[in-house]
Amino acid sequence: MYSALPPLPPLKDEAPGVAVVLIQCCEWLRCCGAGEPRPRTVWLGHPEKRDQRYPRNVINNQKYNFFTFLPGVLFNQFKYFFNLYFLLLACSQFVPEMRLGALYTYWVPLGFVLAVTIIREAVEEIRCYLRDKEVNSQVYSRLTARGTVKVKSCSIQVGDLIIVEKNQRVPADMIFLRTSEKNGSCFLRTDQLDGETDWKLRLPVACTQRLPTAADLLQIRSYVYAEEPNIDIHNFVGTFTREDSDPPISESLSIENTLWAGTVIASGTVVGVVLYTGRELRSVMNTSNPRSKIGLFDLEVNCLTKILFGALVVVSLVMVALQHFAGRWYLQIIRFLLLFSNIIPISLRVNLDMGKIVYSWVIRRDSKIPGTVVRSSTIPEQLGRISYLLTDKTGTLTQNEMVFKRLHLGTVAYGLDSMDEVQSHIFSIYTQQPQDPPAQKGPALTTKVRRTMSSRVHEAVKAIALCHNVTPVYESNGVTDQAEAEKQYEDSCRVYQASSPDEVALVQWTESVGLTLVGRDQSSMQLRTPGDQILNFTILQIFPFTYESKRMGIIVRDESTGEITFYMKGADVVMAGIVQYNDWLEEECGNMAREGLRVLVVAKKSLAEEQYQDFEARYVQAKLSVHDRSLKVATVIESLEMEMELLCLTGVEDQLQADVRPTLETLRNAGIKVWMLTGDKLETATCTAKNAHLVTRNQDIHIFRLVTNRGEAHLELNAFRRKHDCALVISGDSLEVCLKYYEYEFMELACQCPAVVCCRCAPTQKAQIVRLLQERTGKLTCAVGRAARRSRLRRAGFVLPVVVFSPRYSTIYTMFPVFSLVLDKDVKSEVAMLYPELYKDLLKGRPLSYKTFLIWVLISIYQGSTIMYGALLLFESEFVHIVAISFTSLILTELLMVALTIQTWHWLMTVAELLSLACYIASLVFLHEFIDVYFIATLSFLWKVSVITLVSCLPLYVLKYLRRRFSPPSYSKLTS
């Protein structure tokens, strides 16, 4: 039956052989792909009938491949001066005129450092490879002419019909064709795609959902026309066409018909046709290429290395100048550089890399943050330098569990304490109306008033019960059982599924007052009244909520009366221009928002049959448009959104997380500024910020008024500039204007605020704020997390002693004590959490500031001079004795200085000190050519080494004591 299909048109300006080479080359080199992305026509179940070549459905999050691993790792290491210096130093020893010792003394330490780095990178790459392999090897069912066959995710092609079970990951970007759910829809969990915990409702193509079985998908002649691949995960434009029907069927496809890769099916079993694979997946296109990360601490060490190298150059020039630049002076400069090169110790590189591995391991095993996964072991110390924490409101500061709090009808409002009145009104409408019809003569005035109020309440509750995307699901013993339970609409078996907890809260509330949603599918809805009567409604159209429209609507037909009604609910900013004139909407919305409630405006409009038929024809035509579809559809819908009857306001409250207040208090005391970015209205966001103690009770709040142009923004920024120590609350619209004209000035002022709240903020604006904050301040930012203090302090602790004691043999003799500093604690964990102010020292960068570094350099000069001149002063008869005295004094001095640096002793530190000393003593057997072993055993050697070591270390111990006595560090009082 497919032989009659017209041949696909040839691709213009494309040589097939060249295209294959380009695609294979780009996949190997991780390039963007061959040619510009184009729209595509995909035939259902026939991947061979494709109009272009598509990438393999392979997920690859690795930084390197087999061929680029070693060159890539080496390049990422040697592109920084710190590592390049040691490479050049080792390479210089191949030149005879520059050689100062055996090659192994340079290449063995460098090789060890590189081996540690390569092994660490290899382990991370292997872990990443295994994760990718697990994803790429997941098995799915594919519909074929021969039946259902198993296929791996990596073998899925564009055009395949794939079956995805409940709780299974969607393997590729697909169009939703069929579902096993009776209601004709399914829900997705999209947290791995967009970070949102809300479920998303998806609808299958109506034409394919009506087919008797899934196998019939292969018996029809149909295709999908889809837009070119892009990064927009919230929108999609396409059409579905079935050619073998009379007349041909065409349906528009939008985001609600898609199943993006990386999402998880939350209900039922679905069948979809694959549209995009591999690097053309939405999730892949929204992911930046993996890169080698380097922490701020490493960059600071790299900078200090350049300073030390500069000092080496100066010293070498001075030494050559003292010889009046005689002979081959340029070669002498290089030899002096090599001679003094030990000032920059390669053991520092070893300890840094080993420390990162230890900190990553400790973070993974921290019982207070269970389940933590360290994706990169190269930047654990970054946790100690966070200056800004940016957080969403819903699901982060709050629990994302909504509770219905208020129903406002304009003249009367019902709270939690008066919901029984609402229930009474609903009960009277459905139980007393037949006995007391409106046409009854002589009703009392109070009865008329009550009947009017009951009707208003009923219309509001009915609108709330119908205007949503909630689906009731009936479960028995935890297993979905749509057979018996749904027949009786058993309340005990019913749970509500929805893409928003707001809608679930609203439907649960209507159930509590007597109007219960008991059934729903793609085309109908059933409500149960207090008198157990079932009301049937046909769903004619649904207009889903979007961030742009800030509203959702539904058109239903009451099967008992035939009435067609258009219901809509949305944010007050958009609904104010849609509903009929009133004098209470704006004021009451503000009042409810100031109570911390999320407000929705509910309205309705009755439609005549002819009016709806005219709308439907225009709406279907607009949805089939390929170009400017969104604009055309919005224009048609807006033709209905005029002079709607305002029914009510609803207010729901999102409960705060249990520990959000003490957490924000801790962050504030630690010097970390918190910015809240939310889509809620200004009053709601402000109230939540106060309740969560993001803004303290005694702190002023500057509410940035709405600005629409450059002049207004300039005036408001000047007004804000005059405020001091004031939290800022600004809307997304005003923020956009400020960033357009006064980006630098606004960011400068905002960064001075103790807290910032951005409300009515779109997802794209949130990303823009994070990027600007990083660029303008140069500070580290974090989305959500628990700050760690100790990592950076420990690393600074073991970097500085290694910088001071530079000879290369410290890689062996003193590596263990220096490395044991990773176990050091300035304060206990409990004290650090109790006094978060200690974190401020890390934000100032004092543990490795230029001042601290200069002090340690001066210490090294003093101790180096003491050891060298002390050995010369106590010189006896042979030069080898000077070597023994200075060498031993240096080892003892470094071990003592490590002990001086330690704040809290650990038993492993003691073992490390003794082990290093034992290594040195044991190695004397092999150093008999350089050290007189018999001289070491004499009393003369012992007292000379003791005197030199004492003079070298005692003054520093005295200074440390005096400093702790008269100028103690901030944490010393907490440890005493």
The model's pLDDT over 308-358, given as tens digits with 9 standing for 90+, comes to 888 888 988 988 888 888 878 888 888 888 877 777 777 777 777 777 777
pLDDT at 776: 85
- In this model, does residue 837 exceed pLDDT 80? no
pLDDT at 46: 81
Is 503 within any annotated ligand binding site? yes
Sheet strand arrangement including 270-276: 147-152, 139-144, 161-164, 270-276, 173-179, 258-259
**E strand segments, 616-715:** 645-656, 673-677, 700-703
The tokens describing 427, both together, are: 């009960």
pLDDT averaged over every residue in the chain = 80
- DSSP class of 385: S
Is 598 within any annotated ligand binding site? yes
Q: In sequence order, what DSSP letters do the residues of 892-951 get, joined into one string?
A: HHHHHHHHHH-SS--HHHHHHHHHHHHHHHHHGGG-TTTS-HHHHTSHHHHHHHHHHHHH
Considering only residues 738 and 233, tell me which one the structure prediction assigns the higher pLDDT: 738
- In this model, does residue 786 exceed pLDDT 70? no
- In this model, does residue 729 exceed pLDDT 80? yes
- In this model, does residue 798 exceed pLDDT 60? no
| Domain covering 156-286: architecture | Distorted Sandwich (2.70)
How far apart (Å, rounded) are the C-alpha atoms in residues 859 and 853? 10
> With the CA atoms of 370, 374, 378 and 384 taken in that order, what torsion angle do they form, in degrees rounded to the nearest 10?
-40
Dihedral sign computed on CA atoms, order 589, 593, 597, 600:
positive
Tens-digit pLDDT profile for residues 675-697: 988 877 777 788 888 888 888 77
* HSE value, Cβ hemisphere, 13 Å, CA-based, for 873: 10
Q: Which of 136-140, 403-407, 687-691, 820-824 has the lowest mean pLDDT?
A: 820-824
- In this model, does residue 436 exceed pLDDT 70? no
* Residue 727 · residue 752 · CB < 8 Å: no
* Backbone phi and psi for residue 149, each to the nearest 5 degrees, phi listed first: -125, 155
pLDDT at 509: 94
Q: Using 50, 70 and 90 to split pLDDT, how confident is the model at 26?
A: very low
pLDDT at 27: 39
The tokens describing 929, both together, are: 């050519």
3-state secondary structure of 758: strand
pLDDT at 137: 93
Q: What percent of the chain has pLDDT over 70?
A: 85
How far apart (Å, rounded) are the C-alpha atoms in residues 762 and 766? 6
Tens-digit pLDDT profile for residues 942-964: 888 888 889 988 888 888 888 87
- In this model, does residue 772 exceed pLDDT 60? yes
The reply to whether 392 belongs to the active site is: yes
Q: Using 50, 70 and 90 to split pLDDT, how confident is the model at 970?
A: low
In sequence order, the 6+-apart residues with CB closer than 8 A to the CB of 437 are none
Is 293 within any annotated ligand binding site? no
One of 1.10.533.10, 3.30.70.260, 2.60.40.1260, 3.40.1110.10 is the CATH number of 402-430+452-474+492-653, namely 3.40.1110.10
- In this model, does residue 212 exceed pLDDT 60? yes
pLDDT at 606: 93
What is this structure's pTM? 0.69
pLDDT at 476: 60
Is 779 within any annotated ligand binding site? no
**E strand segments, 384-533:** 386-392, 398-408, 413-414, 471-476, 479-480, 494-497, 516-520, 524-528
Tens-digit pLDDT profile for residues 595-623: 888 889 999 999 999 999 999 999 988 88
Considering only residues 805 and 939, tell me which one the structure prediction assigns the higher pLDDT: 939
- Output the CATH code of domain 389-397+657-784: 3.40.50.1000
pLDDT at 796: 45
In sequence order, the 6+-apart residues with CB closer than 8 A to the CB of 601 are 569, 570, 571, 572, 575, 576, 579, 585, 589, 646, 649
The 10 Å CB-count burial string (b at 16+, else e) for 225-246 is bbbebeeebeebbbbbbbeeee
| Of 194, 198, 392, 654, catalytic | 392
pLDDT at 783: 67
Distance of CA 931 to the CA centre of its chain: 59
pLDDT at 976: 55
* Residue 146 · residue 165 · CB < 8 Å: no
- Which residue matches tokens 């069927």? 249
Alpha-carbon distance values, 166 to 169, 171, 271 (Å): 9, 13, 11
Tens-digit pLDDT profile for residues 445-483: 444 555 588 899 999 999 999 999 888 888 764 444 444
Is 973 within any annotated ligand binding site? no
Is 545 within any annotated ligand binding site? yes
- In this model, does residue 875 exceed pLDDT 70? no
- DSSP class of 393: I
- DSSP class of 581: P
- The predicted model gives 189-217 an average pLDDT of 84
- Tell me the domain boundaries of the chain: 58-139, 156-286, 389-397+657-784, 402-430+452-474+492-653, 812-973
pLDDT at 488: 55
Is 760 within any annotated ligand binding site? yes
How far apart (Å, rounded) are the C-alpha atoms in residues 281 and 55? 10
* Residue 337 · residue 313 · CB < 8 Å: yes
How far apart (Å, rounded) are the C-alpha atoms in residues 202 and 191? 15
Considering only residues 774 and 974, tell me which one the structure prediction assigns the higher pLDDT: 774
